[in-house]
Chains A and B, each alone.
Chain A
């Protein structure tokens, strides 16, 4: 790892090109604006069901995926829109999925909780807390067995760390030395139950010790801190040295889902975390280090805004699946 004389320059600004950093900022805006667009569409009745918004967690999603290629895999969670965008998905096809349209990533069969983009390596969000953990280990097993130079990043939340699947998955990844990085987005609450109440250890990363892998807790709203932790973990995975656990401390500004009345946390707490906006922080950092100027940053935000507006329009105009296709995609022979 590079530790040159630019000691005051954050890791990410030394590690990535200005174009990559600009793109990272664009993706963070894209996630924020996508979530706001989805929320608004939901309020207007264009999207049904429920959804879990990741506003406030954008740095965690984008910084985690910085060094991943399309061949690398991720498994995502019920709060997975940001992961999907960070991994390279098109917001038009994502909106189309939320609108239940045939042009959506899952042809309208999955919706928000199953959003996936297999071509960019996103194996899918998951409606089951902890569901993606063993699946990520399986994806890493495939890479190892078939000799593919691929890593798998497994996103999960603080709630999942008390599922049996978490413990079984970390243990197997460790005994088989698989190229997988477990990324816990600790946003303090599993629905309403706080991690502090529900988890016996102070930091979820402390649990790495039990599975003989490195565990690190970072400020998940600090883009560079997350990118640096992932850089180390990905390098370890690619070198065949096995899995790592990274805990990104972050916060969701919105409720758990659309039914949340925020009775388990205070307004002060929410406002305090909103003042630590990961996007504003990253933008300020890029400007301070001369990567972008104000006008360029504005242009990046405007670009994301236009993409979201265009995406919603694409979704609105897209066709719905045929009612007669309700059993299509259950089995291979019906997919043709």
Chain B
């Protein structure tokens, strides 16, 4: 159980990440008539990853709306609906397909409040099944969080546990501005404790999920679990890694990252998006520009996705993104002063 989750109901159950997201959507649909779900095959089919599941049976096709295969138009309908009083949760079947809808997300949703001088708001939530590891190759496996993180007006989150997935979705819904949620596909079946009822996990706050003093590992989404596995192995060697679950890509939680680096003097960023110009570059820069710079005992290290599309061959696919042994190796080198 993550300490930063604000529990308002003592009841905690084991739910999968997908079930936790579904529960958040059910709570939202029950409590607010303005909430609608939109997306491709989210109705009777239950969503490509069975996240919406049976919600159509409970809330009907007017609240759980199948859209045609029209990502640009569908996202735009969600933007227009949000602009006029609905609170749409729009599911992209794969985050890769958001490339078809960049216009509406980047030029419209992100900028409308600003372009209209604060006279309008777009409380839309875009859900994006993301990441590699499913054998779906180059067009169904990407990690676009840095793309969206580059756009003022958007908030971008990456839950790593079922409890976070529910809490961040409910926080996104409560937010009057557009929020993009990257849900890692390999986590959908992962189980974890999830509080019942309504609670929010704050956007813009990272979580220290393992305390340590020798090296800081800032990780996001599935990399959090790989970092924790690596940290457990390193602990057997007497190396205590501090693992930060980033949770939010935009806005970044500067304070948590800087405080940790000041303590450990070593920073490793582990993320699945392409390494160059990725989330790790921004984290590295913010540390280098901050008072934590003087505390650094070693060069900052980044582990990110390869400079290649995600390949089909399973061995190549694994090699294209950081794995637990990679994190373990680099964190060990950092801790031992070998970098």
Q: Which residues of A contact B (CB under 8 A)?
A: 73, 75, 104-110, 114, 116, 118, 123-124, 126-128, 131, 133-143, 145-146, 164-165, 167-169, 171-172, 175, 327-332, 335
CB-CB under 8 A from A143, the residues of chain B are 84
- Decide: B118 and A175 in contact? CB cutoff 8 A: no
CB-CB under 8 A from B70, the residues of chain A are 168, 171-172
7 interchain residue pairs of minimum CB distance: A138-B80, A134-B76, A168-B73, A107-B117, A135-B80, A106-B117, A138-B81
- Decide: B113 and A331 in contact? CB cutoff 8 A: yes
Interface with A: B102-110, B183-191, B209-217, B267-275, which one?
Answer: B102-110
In the complex formed, the residue of B with least CB distance to A180 is B80
Contact with A along B111-144 (1 / 0, CB 8 A): 0111111111100000000000000000000000
Cα distance, A143 to B85, chains bound together (Å): 9
- Decide: B76 and A331 in contact? CB cutoff 8 A: no
Cα distance, A146 to B88, chains bound together (Å): 13
B interface residue count range (under 10 / 10 to 19 / 20 to 34 / 35 or more): 35 or more
Q: Beyond A109-B116, A133-B76, A328-B118, list 15 extra A-B contacts (CB 8 Å).
A: A106-B115, A106-B119, A107-B117, A114-B115, A116-B119, A124-B116, A128-B108, A134-B76, A138-B79, A138-B82, A139-B80, A142-B86, A164-B73, A171-B70, A332-B121
Q: Is B67 an interface residue (CB 8 A)?
A: yes
Q: Which of B73, B85, B119, B153 contacts A172 (CB 8 A)?
A: B73
- 8 CB-based A-B contacts, threshold 8 Å: A116-B115, A116-B116, A131-B76, A135-B79, A135-B80, A138-B77, A139-B83, A145-B36
Cα distance, A134 to B100, chains bound together (Å): 14
- Decide: B77 and A137 in contact? CB cutoff 8 A: yes
CB-CB under 8 A from B103, the residues of chain A are 128, 131, 165
Cα distance, A110 to B112, chains bound together (Å): 9
Cα distance, A73 to B82, chains bound together (Å): 14
Cα distance, A31 to B281, chains bound together (Å): 50
- Decide: B68 and A330 in contact? CB cutoff 8 A: no
Q: How far is the CB of A204 from chain B (nearest CB, A)?
A: 18
- Decide: B118 and A335 in contact? CB cutoff 8 A: yes
- Decide: A135 and B117 in contact? CB cutoff 8 A: no
With A73-B84, A105-B117, A116-B116 already in contact, the answer to whether A172 and B107 are too (CB < 8 A) is: no
Q: Is B202 an interface residue (CB 8 A)?
A: no
- Decide: B83 and A135 in contact? CB cutoff 8 A: yes
Q: Which of B68, B79, B117 contacts A168 (CB 8 A)?
A: B68
Q: Is B289 an interface residue (CB 8 A)?
A: no
- Decide: A165 and B72 in contact? CB cutoff 8 A: yes
In the complex formed, the residue of A with least CB distance to B119 is A118
Complex interface residues of chain B between 250 and 308 (CB less than 8 A to chain A): none
In the complex formed, the residue of A with least CB distance to B38 is A141
CB-CB under 8 A from A105, the residues of chain B are 116-117, 119
Q: How far is the CB of A102 from chain B (nearest CB, A)?
A: 9
Q: Is B75 an interface residue (CB 8 A)?
A: yes
- Decide: B73 and A134 in contact? CB cutoff 8 A: yes
In the complex formed, the residue of B with least CB distance to A125 is B115
Cα distance, A141 to B81, chains bound together (Å): 6
CB-CB under 8 A from A106, the residues of chain B are 115-117, 119
- Decide: B116 and A142 in contact? CB cutoff 8 A: no
Q: Which of A109, A128, A172, A175 contacts B114 (CB 8 A)?
A: A109
- Decide: A137 and B153 in contact? CB cutoff 8 A: no
Q: How far is the CB of B70 from chain A (nearest CB, A)?
A: 4
In the complex formed, the residue of B with least CB distance to A178 is B77
Q: Which of A110, A138, A141, A332 contacts B116 (CB 8 A)?
A: A110
In the complex formed, the residue of B with least CB distance to A148 is B85
Q: Is B9 an interface residue (CB 8 A)?
A: no
Q: How far is the CB of B97 from chain A (nearest CB, A)?
A: 13
Q: Which of B73, B84, B120 contacts A171 (CB 8 A)?
A: B73
With A138-B77, A175-B68 already in contact, the answer to whether A330 and B114 are too (CB < 8 A) is: yes
Q: How far is the CB of B180 from chain A (nearest CB, A)?
A: 14
CB-CB under 8 A from A73, the residues of chain B are 84
Cα distance, A315 to B152, chains bound together (Å): 29
- Decide: B120 and A172 in contact? CB cutoff 8 A: no
CB-CB under 8 A from B108, the residues of chain A are 126, 128, 131, 135
Q: Which of B34, B67, B72, B117 contacts A329 (CB 8 A)?
A: B117
CB-CB under 8 A from A146, the residues of chain B are 33-34, 85-86
Q: How far is the CB of B167 from chain A (nearest CB, A)?
A: 19
Q: How far is the CB of A105 from chain B (nearest CB, A)?
A: 7
Q: How far is the CB of A166 from chain B (nearest CB, A)?
A: 9
- Decide: B81 and A330 in contact? CB cutoff 8 A: no
- Decide: B118 and A131 in contact? CB cutoff 8 A: no
CB-CB under 8 A from A169, the residues of chain B are 73, 76-77
In the complex formed, the residue of A with least CB distance to B110 is A330
Contact with A along B37-77 (1 / 0, CB 8 A): 00000000000000000000000001000011010111111
